[in-house]
Structure 1
Amino acid sequence: MTSMTATTDRPTASAATPGEAPAGRDHAAYLELVGRLDLATKVRLLTGATSFTLHGEESIGLAPMAFSDGPTGVRGLKFTGGDHVALFPSATVLASAWSEETAHEVGEMLAEEAERQQIHVVLGPTINLHRTPLGGRLFEAYSEDPLLTGKLAAAYVRGLQGRGIGACLKHLVANESETLRNYMNSVVSETALREVYLLPFEIAVQDADAWSIMAAYNDINGVAATEQNHVNNTVVKGDWGWDGLLMSDWFATKTSAPAALGGLDLVMPGPDGPWGEALVADVESGAVHESVIDEHVVRLLRLAERVGALGSTDEQRVWPTESLAPDAPARRAQLRRLATDGMVVLKNAGGILPLAATGPDSGAGTAGDARAGTVALIGRHGIDTICMGGGSATVNPPYQVSIAEGLEAAIGDRLLVVDGVEVRDRAVVAEPSAITDPETGEPGLRVAYLDAEGVVMASEHSSVASIVTGWDDVLPRPTEQVVLTARLTGSGPVRLGVLGTGTWTIDLDGERVGSAELVAEGFDPGESMLKPPVWTIDTDATTTTDDEGTREGALVTATVTVVRSEPQPGPDGKLSTLSHVIASGMGMKGLVVSPVPAPASEVLESVTAAAASADVAVVVVGLTEEQETEATDKSTLALLGDQDAMVSAVAAAASRTVVVVNASTPVLMPWFDEVDAVLVVGLPGQEGGHAVADALLGVREPAGRLVTSWPSADEAAPAWEVVPDGLTLEYTDGTFVGYRGFAAGHAPAPAHWLGAGDGYGAWTYGAARLLEGGSGAPSVEVTVANSSTHDSREVVQVYLRPDTEDQPVRLVGFAPVQVAAGSEATVTVDTDARLWRRWDEAANAWGEPLTGGTLLVARGLGDVQAELPLA
């Protein structure tokens, strides 16, 4: 079974008109353009011009290109505080639909968002695997399974690139954890690389011709991802015949000649970096042949032509003059639907869900019907629903709907909302509604940037309570001080503070309330950007009345002096580009304003009373962007603080209890047997609260299936550790990642398997039979019947269980199907030939494919419906 090979010069998606561009030039034509450039110009093109843009070159018709992060929305060119953009459900939620059609639609929607902002390349999808449930960045990746990940990624890419916007697969490769990610070495067998970790990239390249790929921060088997000749040149560009552009992750490139020779085409960000004059010197010394540089530029020009940034003015992209706003009704409806489709019903005892949409007085039920009366919504996550994760997946949405807001809009005064226990370890920046700009009165704050002489270079309004210095500034001189000022909208006890590296002073109505010297904890520049240090104090804020009788909130002034230092070697002993970035003082600065938390005992007393007074209690628990974020991994799957105690207290007091889990990655649920229903809603995007209400009330079925197995306890997983030993992280689970390892007995059975989820249907499977598949791999046909009173969606999953112990069980195909209540449907599941391959390390090649074993037709490996032995 041979793998498919990408052709070199195929027709590409649109330049001037999306979807209708002429075929790309052949290789010789690109080389002719490159030949017009001198060495310094060619090298200049191979490093970004700014944080998210590339240089143009008018002499060859190359326009500047713009890139944007894109896992949960097209953020634009500002890392924080940019224009409002649509906030999508997290990738894990979208993947839980197990639908290539959904992934394709998401790609098209992201393309529309990119077009509105004139972005050429969206930095997504993230297709690293959920190897260990502790990975902090799992929420922006699809699954623990390589086939599901690859199929969804390919559909996403087709949707995006079909409109002429480039996709960027990331992060190549073995980047499944965040701890010391810039320095750690992932040690992975060639078999595991080929059969598992490279497979999603291979599928997206073969099936969708992704136009760019991003090299990861980490090393693989002792060689940096940006210098990986084996992965980048031998496998991706050689074996797969891929003709796209390979860019670095931001600040990931550590060297000049080794990276250029190792297959890297583009260094990001700019304008500074390890190439430039150093790479010119490498060519002039003979360390790098100029033809290597030429090939990198060819790939850059090919990407530019594909996205409409190469050619005469008439040939270049024409951006639309009208576009769908991120808060347009049509966009709201799409995001609401997508979020609900990815929510997973893990338990529904007695059919408590869906709840009745109307109360007993409407005739929809009786006063004794727990589903028809009052609903107590309990928990901090219900009021402050977490709609997105942290890091580069963060965007600035026009709004975010909490579950409380969504349910109130749906059931009105039948809803009782009660706050819950604290869910955070660290304070976060103020919600815009908690502060106003003292100059304009708008929600948000006033930011002043001062130079070394104390001169104000810029004073501007920020709609969010945080900014970034030293990253994407547009200022005449470096920032030495930043002054954040805001009026508080509330009065009374308040937790006040700041976050971000530097020397801080904090004043309240002109009186000093504190000062702090904050430094980053680790070596990762992401620490100062994505997990900045925090200082807080509990104090009192009073509202005053001026001479004209106008009431004004207390004025907070927070001043930070940026701390710069000499670059220091990292834990690997190297004085890399990252060392200079850290020393430059780059980082996030923000203002913290939040209520002072009540004691847990008081909170548990109030939630118990609320639960007892209502006909049904909906208690919301989960994680926050502290745990689900870039640059940080988790240390436990347990919910923070007293959330478990809160659920148990509610379950003991309520007549019926529904738990909503506001987290996109596995959590422990010691109270699972105490409650009636569990709905996993993930990080549901800006329409989150409305989508959860739709799911709870049955307006739309939460038809998702888990994309990762949920362990039964901490450490009870085939792979657990995310902290390198020294700087080495051994992938000891080999090809037995996730459910594969559980099925082989490498860990106790999970609490919930990959693919689990019930929706609101009731399913029975008829006899399954084998069919001859067109790709050389078999297909499976099975009839499924929905005996419930709800129209419902099923996902038929087919797994191969090989007959040899050294080969893990693996998902080989899946197919979703919608079936009306009381009806049935016949489903054909095609299996993918790439999952039948075996890598032969001795021969360094693909060996004979698997032939024996059993195909399992299942609703997840915890619910196998049929077994089909193979001859």
Structure 2
Amino acid sequence: MTQEEIARLLDKLDTRQKVRLLTGATTWRTADEPALGLRGMVMSDGPAGVRGESWEERNTSALLPSASALGAMWDEGLTERLGGLLAAEARGKGVDVVLAPTLNLHRSPLGGRHFECYSEDPELTARTGVALIRGIQAQGVAACAKHYVANDSETERLTVSVGLDERTLREVYLVPFEAAVRAARVRAVMCGYNAVNGTTLAENPLLEHPLKEEWGFDGLLVSDWGAVRSTVPAGRAALDLAMPGPESPWADGLVRAVEDGRVPVAAIDDKVGRLLRLADRVGALHRAPAPAPAAPDESRALLRRAVAAGCVLLGNRGVLPLDPASLTSLAVIGAQAADPRVQGGGSAGVHPRHVSTPLDALRDALGGTARIVHAPGPALGAPPFLGGPDCLDPRDGRPGTLLRVLGPDGAELYAGHRESGRQIEPPLPSGARTVEISARLTPAAGGTWTFGVGGFGRMSLTVDGTALVDGVFPRETDDPAVVHVNPPSRYGETALTAGRSVLVVARRELAEDTGRATLVTAAPPRPDRATALADAVEAARTADAAVVFVGTTQDSESEGHDRTTLALPGDQDDLVRAVVAVQPRTVVVVNSGGPVEMPWREAAPAVLLAWFPGQEAGTGVADVLFGAAEPGGRLPTTWPAALADAPVTSVRPVDGVLRYTEGPHIGHRAWLREHRTPAYWFGHGLGYTTWEYEEVAVSSPGDGAGDTAFTVSVRLRNTGARPGREVPQVYLARPGSAVERPVRWLAGYTAVTAGPGEVVTAAVHVPHRALHHWSLRERGWLTESGAYEVHAGPSAGQLPLAASVEVRGTTDGRFRGERFPER
């Protein structure tokens, strides 16, 4: 749409009609406007799957690996294809705007939402985010880059003010967003809950400059859900849309603020104009036929490939790949082998179409030629949700639960079968007062069972009429991820007899501002720790090989809270040590979204990082374990051996302020600055072959075209017996710089493939932006003249090749041209 066309549409609306468009009509939908032929646009989480407007178990979605796994792929082509899959899912569900990618950084290993973010490095994050955006937007769906900006931890996330200097903001935290706007032309940006230097993002001048003015962002600026807290200051700022609705500080007061002159009409017109431009781009002003979603088999194959592409082989002493023909027995250890964690916790969760478990996939891969013994080890994590084969709907006898919604007098307003006791958005017919979830449970094991009910307000839980929970539990947080997704649970215990069925009934009264999510859990007696360990050891000792699955839990890694430790929950470290001690062919598979401590890593014959792998967890991991696919991942984040070693760990604000005192020195930059050695460097990852870095050469500055300052040619040789893929990385250094810089910083990377013995030359194009810094005096980007060191290798800590290049700045030192290329 041209500006003239937008102006003509605006002329058809009065102030009240315009303001009405600037608050969501529902939780996920914008308002329509019949006078313009405008339909409401639908927005949906998220980074790993497109949920749509409802969060209900019958509304399933294709589930991608976590964003940290995508960051680990270092593969923009595959990332773009995954973006296309998200777009196809969106089209199939009537979604116009996918709330992804998350472009915040892994500043501290304690960040609770690492699984939703790509990496610790601004360049890797920028390139990965651009690829996903291009994949989404190629199909006419809008991507939404979030959470602008410096929204890198969860503690006090609704109110925290992040304090950081302008150079750090420009050179680190704004970089991925600038790339999203300039290189990918992202159609929407979401501001975070946090403040930057004392001003909440919904009102922050950073929305205007650099985002809209300097970078030329012409899309829609939407708030995080509930992030708008004022009428006039936010109305005068550059924010365009307050979500969700229909209630918001803009719903009524903004009309009066415009009428009495406190908010300029021009500001409202700009906001509405941007919304109309987005509507035009996604077909909400002229309905275009939606392409069909990707076929399920095609989606599954792509997602299976993505699992292997993101898996990072951290260490391998000749154990992997396992040879199926040589196995007569395989011990599969750990609870997460049968129940893997496939996605992170919080608002971006979806109900996957199916989940391939590692245990099932390993059985299928071996095809009955080898005996598999599963030993879950000691109990892990929070109680499971009510449901599964031991639970029956008390009304129709099908496996699962019965969901009922009752009125004030107890009359049934709704009843329906469900698979589990986790109901995030139970239906709310008119007059709804109480949510009830029930099931007839036949326990497989006798002993003391633990039951829980989660929510706020008056709640009760009975087992065969005996009350285990009964009370009023007030809401103590405003965090929407807690209120609407994962409310706290209250627990009670009772003794059950194996094989004797009982009726479990949980009720939660609905109260204003407490959400409607209702969770019911049922945990069998915890197995004796010593016995569980002994069973695992025996299974491993008598097998030809063992695969141990360990990882984080919903309680230890989720949106809404940061971590306080990197230790694996429960007895998992003891489990690994015990298995490794008796089985020399042990593979440890780590199922987490971010770094964890692995005190046994040097003793373990092989360690494979699978992240949160999405719905094809089992098939993808099995492909890697048996060599059908090479582990393609490289670490997007530096992993410490112990939390105490990490140079940047602060996530807890002091008096409401979280200061980024480390400046631009995060991730591998911080490790280098502090002269510390991590367990695994940024960029590290092994394959099933070996490589020798033989030679590096640098083209003369000025030889590059467009955004390229110069090209680094890296010659490599595949010295192993298998074909493979390698990711040569180039880092720059500027000793003696007149300005503070990192010791080294990532300047570029590429991927190459080669057969056994083959020599290949990788061309890494170093962009101009890798050479310049932000000048506070000049209020712009400068390129410093002089010699720059060029280092090449497989990780930030292993750079066997070095060269130098002489760079000349312009006469005034200013870098002339765009920081990111326009697309």
Partner of 2:816: none
Match of 2:508 among 531, 543, 560: 560
Q: Which amino acid aligns with 2:733?
A: R
- 1:460 paired with 2:416, answer yes
Is the contact between residue 622 and residue 662 of structure 1 (CA under 8 Å) also seen in structure 2?
Answer: yes
Partner of 1:132: 108
SS in 2 for 1:170: strand
- 1:501 paired with 2:477, answer no
Give the CA deviation at 1:432.
4.3
Aligned-partner Cα distance in 2 for 1:108–1:282 = 42
Aligned-partner Cα distance in 2 for 1:257–1:434 = 56
Q: Which amino acid aligns with 2:358?
A: I
**Structure 2 stretches lacking a partner, 5+ long:** 807-823
Aligned-partner Cα distance in 2 for 1:165–1:589 = 32
Aligned-partner Cα distance in 2 for 1:655–1:510 = 52
Is the contact between residue 506 and residue 559 of structure 1 (CA under 8 Å) also seen in structure 2?
Answer: yes
Aligned-partner Cα distance in 2 for 1:538–1:689 = 34
Aligned-partner Cα distance in 2 for 1:461–1:834 = 56
Aligned-partner Cα distance in 2 for 1:836–1:438 = 67
Give the CA deviation at 1:849.
4.3
Q: Which amino acid aligns with 1:558?
A: A
Aligned-partner Cα distance in 2 for 1:633–1:721 = 10
Q: Could you tell which deviates more after superposition, 843-852 or 671-680?
A: 843-852
Partner of 2:732: 800
Match of 2:405 among 433, 449, 472: 449
Give the CA deviation at 1:431.
4.8
Partner of 2:722: 790
Match of 1:720 among 638, 643, 649: 649
Aligned-partner Cα distance in 2 for 1:95–1:355 = 26
Aligned-partner Cα distance in 2 for 1:124–1:850 = 38
Partner of 1:481: 434
Give the CA deviation at 1:814.
0.6
Partner of 1:491: 444
Give the CA deviation at 1:106.
0.7
Q: Which amino acid aligns with 1:726?
A: D
Match of 1:280 among 251, 255, 260: 255
Q: How does 1:388-467 map to 2 (within 5 A)?
A: 388-411=343-366, 412=368, 413-424=370-381, 426-467=382-423
Change beyond 3 A, Cα 1:793–1:776? closer
Give the CA deviation at 1:834.
1.9
Aligned-partner Cα distance in 2 for 1:647–1:127 = 34
Match of 1:154 among 126, 130, 137: 130
- 1:740 paired with 2:707, answer no
Partner of 1:242: 217
Aligned-partner Cα distance in 2 for 1:201–1:110 = 20
Aligned-partner Cα distance in 1 for 2:473–2:605 = 46
- 1:323 paired with 2:293, answer yes
Partner of 2:518: 589
Identity %: 38
- 1:836 paired with 2:771, answer yes
CA distances 1:69-88 after superposition (whole Å, capped 9, x unpaired):
01110011113435111111
- 1:259 paired with 2:234, answer yes
Aligned-partner Cα distance in 2 for 1:850–1:692 = 48
Is the contact between residue 389 and residue 625 of structure 1 (CA under 8 Å) also seen in structure 2?
Answer: yes
Q: How does 1:118-197 map to 2 (within 5 A)?
A: 118-197=94-173
SS in 2 for 1:375: strand
Is the contact between residue 403 and residue 416 of structure 2 (CA under 8 Å) also seen in structure 1?
Answer: yes
Partner of 2:489: 534
Match of 2:600 among 671, 677, 686: 671
Partner of 1:356: 323
Q: Which amino acid aligns with 1:52?
A: W
Is the contact between residue 486 and residue 557 of structure 1 (CA under 8 Å) also seen in structure 2?
Answer: yes
Is the contact between residue 424 and residue 485 of structure 2 (CA under 8 Å) also seen in structure 1?
Answer: no
- 1:94 paired with 2:48, answer no
- 1:816 paired with 2:791, answer no
Aligned-partner Cα distance in 1 for 2:607–2:398 = 40
Aligned-partner Cα distance in 2 for 1:830–1:184 = 39
Match of 1:659 among 565, 570, 588: 588
SS in 2 for 1:376: strand
Aligned-partner Cα distance in 2 for 1:587–1:661 = 34
Q: How does 1:682-721 map to 2 (within 5 A)?
A: 682-721=611-650
Partner of 1:751: 679
Aligned-partner Cα distance in 1 for 2:450–2:304 = 33
Is the contact between residue 538 and residue 596 of structure 1 (CA under 8 Å) also seen in structure 2?
Answer: no
Change beyond 3 A, Cα 1:273–1:543? same
Is the contact between residue 453 and residue 518 of structure 2 (CA under 8 Å) also seen in structure 1?
Answer: yes
Is the contact between residue 469 and residue 490 of structure 2 (CA under 8 Å) also seen in structure 1?
Answer: no
Change beyond 3 A, Cα 1:282–1:556? same
Partner of 2:266: 291
Give the CA deviation at 1:635.
0.4
* TM-score normalised by the chain length of structure 2: 0.94
Q: Which amino acid aligns with 1:677?
A: A
Aligned-partner Cα distance in 2 for 1:423–1:618 = 17
Give aligned pairs, total. Answer: 795
SS in 2 for 1:240: coil
Give the CA deviation at 1:443.
3.7
Q: Which amino acid aligns with 2:741?
A: Q
Aligned-partner Cα distance in 1 for 2:390–2:230 = 46
Match of 1:85 among 58, 61, 75: 61
Change beyond 3 A, Cα 1:499–1:67? same
* TM-score normalised by the chain length of structure 1: 0.89
Q: How does 1:594-613 map to 2 (within 5 A)?
A: 594-613=523-542
Is the contact between residue 518 and residue 533 of structure 1 (CA under 8 Å) also seen in structure 2?
Answer: no
Give the CA deviation at 1:595.
2.5
Give the CA deviation at 1:846.
2.1
Change beyond 3 A, Cα 1:27–1:748? same
CA RMSD of aligned residues (A): 1.8
Match of 2:191 among 201, 215, 222: 215
Aligned-partner Cα distance in 2 for 1:537–1:819 = 59
CA distances 1:392-428 after superposition (whole Å, capped 9, x unpaired):
221011221221111111123422111112332x334
Change beyond 3 A, Cα 1:515–1:355? same
CA distances 1:443-490 after superposition (whole Å, capped 9, x unpaired):
432222223343433222333422236xx855324x431111112254
Aligned-partner Cα distance in 1 for 2:414–2:255 = 37
Partner of 1:626: 555
Q: How does 1:42-57 map to 2 (within 5 A)?
A: 42-57=18-33
Give the CA deviation at 1:31.
1.4
- 1:762 paired with 2:690, answer yes
Q: Which amino acid aligns with 1:241?
A: G
Partner of 1:549: none
Give the CA deviation at 1:816.
1.0
Aligned-partner Cα distance in 1 for 2:713–2:802 = 12
Q: How does 1:298-377 map to 2 (within 5 A)?
A: 298-310=273-285, 315-320=286-291, 322-324=292-294, 328-349=296-317, 351-359=318-326, 372-377=327-332
Aligned-partner Cα distance in 1 for 2:399–2:697 = 62
Q: Which amino acid aligns with 2:356?
A: V
Q: Which amino acid aligns with 2:789?
A: T
Give the CA deviation at 1:283.
0.5
Is the contact between residue 708 and residue 765 of structure 2 (CA under 8 Å) also seen in structure 1?
Answer: no
Aligned-partner Cα distance in 1 for 2:29–2:501 = 41
Aligned-partner Cα distance in 1 for 2:559–2:507 = 27
